[in-house]
Chains A and B, each alone.
Chain A
Amino acid sequence: MSIPLLLEIGVEEIPDWMLVPALNQLQDTFQTLLDQQALGGRVSSVDATPRRLVLKAEGLLDRQADTEELLFGPPKSAGAGAANGFAKKMGTTVDQLGVESTAKGEYFSFKKKTQGQPTAAILSRELPSLILRIQWPKTMYWNGKGTEHFIRPIRWLVALLGENVVPFEIAGVKSGKTSTGHRLLGKASFPVTIADFDQQLRANGVILCAGERQHKIETEIQTLLEGRGLHLQRDPDLLHTLVYITEFPSVILGEFDRQYLELPKEVLVTVMKHHQKYFSVVDAEGNLAPNFIAVMNTSGDPEGLVRQGNESVLRSRFNDARFFWRNDLKRKLEDRLEDLKNVTFQAKLGSYFEKTLRTVALVKTLGGDEGAARAALLAKCDLPTDMVKEFTDLQGIMGGQYAKAQGEPEPVWRAIYDHYKPLSMEDSIPATTQGRLVALADKLDTLRECFQVDMIPSGSKDPFALRRAAQGAVRIAVEGKLNVTLDDGSPQLREFLRDRIEYYFRDVRNFKYDEVRACMAAGWEDLPDLEARLRRVQAIRPTTDFEPLAASFKRIKNILKQADFKSAGNINAALLEAGPEKDLWDEHRQTKSQPLETRIAAMRPRIDLFFDKVLVNAPDAAIRTNRLTLLNNLLTEFSTIADFSEIVTEKGS
């Protein structure tokens, strides 16, 4: 028997961003249940709309297989009393026991048969807790104190094993074979089977498959824009949201008055995206067009009412934004510095005014010019503007726009504009040197100050996004080629930064972990230099002589360690033995000024030969010290690029 299964959890509207993680959990836990209970079968698909989580599985058995287990009792020699006891324990009688011969002698035994349970019974028992175990960011109860928690109230349940309902109950809702359609396009109740489930949903205004909803949105956008010289501003995050906030998406194209294009385009785009969930549209030259694309959760807008409604809402939002823009411009950014005294940076760390003064000083220390210092002074002055209070995502960007409109020179307004960058690993670093210095100083100040008052990220807790700040600082220093000191001497911050640097080069830049460790062991204060050394090591790594040489360095390091060698005195050339030892010394001396890359090939055979023929641990103390000094010199010279003993070679250590 191979039976299909359908599970639909009907819920009131679930937040879009929680659906995919929930489906993944459902798939995993259900597959685990099938495996652990030996029910056969596998999950064939999971799907979700805002109102339903759906899981389908195939190939289930109708019941678990019967099992047989051979259990051993007391030795036969223990007699009838022991046999009786064993039989009782097994829930049987003595005549049902067997005798097995083993190497240790004969033992009473019993074949215990367990009958497999029906799949439906197991699912009935397990499904309620499996469903309620789905982890959500925040849950609610709806039937009164002490009742079940879920993301939103559960309103119906479909659970079919073949043609039969798997009976169970959650929060007063009984499982059945009746589903619910789209709130406006479908029936409130209709019967389904496993075979016709998708079609029944479709007939009731629900496209179950997220991929299909996405395809519908994309095709309709394409059709609407075609022939108008307009192009969609792609936005995968927004698309994902719209796919999971609809059961039956349809697309409309709306317009707004050109007069609003006087506003910075970032403002218009933010209003459209974050407040209204609209895509923006550009013309052939890439300029923002006075149009927007909205996605409805219904089949169409034949009378244009939905379009008009959305246009009217957008108009009033843009009016608000224009009011803020014009009003904010009446006051110079610089005059708002005073206001920053009332804007808390962090309760323990004072106001943004104090942060600003520190950042300006830090920018100067980092070598910033007047423009950078000016930008640092004005960078936070947009926080008390009405626009940023309303649209917090625009912090920095608005500061830059206001600075530009108020006549600050380009290096200044650009630096303000960019100073929150990079916001993510994908985001670029600020475009100008001034921008980089202000962004770096802002992040370093946050890091240093937070570490000073012990607000240090631990585990998944990082309320002040210090990891992101540190990662941003590292990227700006490396990619912006800034040789600056990131830490302020605090050991904890140093350790924290070290981790971020290692992570960046290893996981983001894909350098091999041992190369990163080797190069960082030779110093990581100057990040552009660290990057340059990594590139060199990466380049010479595949050459034939490199890894054997690295192995030799490991050997040298061990020898020096065992000898507890400290001195760094000069080589006494007279004590050098002619042959391999002298040759190594000569090679080293003569090529000292050459780059590592050209020295490796000649150096490797000399070192090999040295270890082959020369006894470092010579009986004569002077000769021994001289040889150790030679090795130490070699090690020190080469270690300015990387600690090669950290390189993992094929031979192992």
Chain B
Amino acid sequence: MTALTFQEMIFRLKHYWANRGCIITEPYDMELGAGTMSPETFLRVLGPEPYRVAYVQPSRRPADGRYGENPKRLYKHQQLQVILKPSPADVLDQYLGSLEAIGIDLRKHDIKFEEDNWEAPTLGAWGIGWQVMLDGLEITQFTYFQQCGGIDLDLVPAEITYGMERLASFLQNKDSLYDVEWTKGVLYKEVRFKDEQQSSVYNFELASVDMLWELFKLHEAECRRLLDMYEKYEDKARFPVLPAYEQVLKCSNTFNLLDARGAISVTERVGVIGRVRRLAVGVAQLWAAQSGVAAA
């Protein structure tokens, strides 16, 4: 069997999880550092309602950019994110089934679940889980969420995050991610190289630090303003919690850009992370309150 192309692999996985009751959504239309930060995960894991969703999320990590010159590192990689809330008892078997679905004959490979707990201090979120190693390559992060926005979760969701470029390079046996076949006759580098190169130049060299700090403060202030309005707002059900969360996402991405630009000293770092965290926790609590669930 010839290996799947990048996009075929995505189709298969979306299908696989759609058949298991997942809503398939398009990526969230903002700059995110990881699929976890999408409201489809971050806010939906809160509260007592079951939810199943899968989506591919382009994830921006400015500091990981390498001008398109490192065969294994990307500024913007793509995560396929699956949320199963609550997690079914056979979740790991379902996950292994998804690998079979994209053509990996597990009997010919070595798969290990190695301890790797996940923690996102900027989101007040953590979980317990593993990195999944396939022949020594980390292909998936698997997490049982425990807390989000500093709140103990009512139902424990399983979060499965596939690193799509890595998985494709494994399937197609390519040392460089840029040599992955996106679709027949088109390579990953033809689609994404310019983005990697130019974003690296901008993120590392040209982004205006003053402007970024200004943006950070504006988004922070807007989020704070909204959070402070909630209590006196009459029609709670209509209150814009989601737009408030989008301001947190703006802050988070701006922080990452400042970080890549080398504009945040190690000493400052903790403080700035704390500021984003407070906003995220505030939003999570409003979301829980708005859903009629008492925040812990």
Contacts and interface: CB of A to CB of B under 8 A. Distances in A.
Interface in B204-234: none
Contact of B113 (A12, A313, A315, A316): A12
Interface in B81-108: 86-87, 89, 92-93, 96, 106-108
Nearest to A254: B136
Contact of A155 (B89, B107, B109, B175): B89
Given A188-B93, A309-B134, A298 B154 contact: no
Given A138-B128, A316-B71, A184 B111 contact: yes
A157 to B, nearest CB: 13
Given A298-B109, A316-B71, 5 more contacts: A143-B156, A245-B112, A276-B136, A309-B137, A309-B170
Contacts of A142: 87, 144, 156
Contacts of B87: 142
B110 interface: yes
B266 A294 contact: no
A296 B110 contact: yes
28 contacts: A13-B114, A13-B130, A140-B127, A142-B156, A144-B155, A145-B154, A153-B89, A183-B96, A246-B112, A276-B136, A296-B110, A297-B110, A297-B111, A298-B109, A306-B109, A306-B135, A308-B135, A308-B173, A309-B109, A309-B134, A309-B135, A309-B170, A310-B136, A313-B136, A320-B70, A342-B266, A343-B266, A351-B267
A498 interface: no
B115 A315 contact: no
Contact of A152 (B111, B128, B152, B154): B128
A464 interface: no
A223 to B, nearest CB: 19
The 5 closest A-B pairs by CB, nearest first: A309-B135, A15-B115, A296-B110, A13-B113, A310-B136
B146 interface: yes
A344 interface: yes
B128 A298 contact: no
B20 interface: no
B175 to A, nearest CB: 6
Interface in B51-98: 70-72, 86-87, 89, 92-93, 96
A245 B70 contact: no
A315 B175 contact: yes
Contacts of A245: 112, 114
A145 B146 CA distance: 9
Interface string A132-147: 0000001011111100
Nearest to A51: B113
B2 interface: no
Contacts of A306: 108-110, 135
A494 B83 CA distance: 56
B146 A141 contact: yes
Nearest to A171: B89
A141 B156 contact: yes
A302 B107 CA distance: 10
A309 B138 CA distance: 11
B136 A309 contact: yes
A351 B128 CA distance: 33
Which range contains the number of A residues in contact with the other chain?
35 or more
Interface in B137-154: 137, 144, 146, 152-154
Interface of B: 70-72, 86-87, 89, 92-93, 96, 106-115, 117, 127-128, 130, 134-137, 144, 146, 152-156, 170, 173, 175, 265-267
A279 to B, nearest CB: 13
A9 to B, nearest CB: 15
A294 B154 contact: no
A298 B93 CA distance: 17
Contacts of A12: 92, 113
B136 A294 contact: yes
Interface in A310-358: 310, 312-316, 319-320, 323, 342-344, 347, 351
Nearest to B145: A140
A305 B117 CA distance: 29
A144 B152 CA distance: 9
A303 B108 contact: yes
Among A13, A276, A302, the one with the most B-chain Cβ atoms within 10 Å of its Cβ is A13
Contacts of B114: 13, 245
A140 B136 contact: no
A305 B109 contact: yes
A50 B113 contact: yes
B5 to A, nearest CB: 19
B175 A305 contact: no
A316 B72 contact: yes
A344 B154 CA distance: 38
A369 interface: no
Contacts of B144: 140, 142, 153
Nearest to A342: B265
Contacts of B267: 342, 344, 347, 351
Contact of B175 (A153, A188, A312): A312
B175 A316 contact: yes
A37 B113 CA distance: 39
A301 interface: yes
Contacts of B153: 145
Nearest to B269: A344
A322 to B, nearest CB: 12
A331 B89 CA distance: 53
Contacts of A144: 86, 154-156
Interface in A1-39: 12-13, 15-16
Contacts of A323: 70
Interface string A161-188: 0000000000000000000000110001
Given A312-B175, A319-B71, A145 B113 contact: no
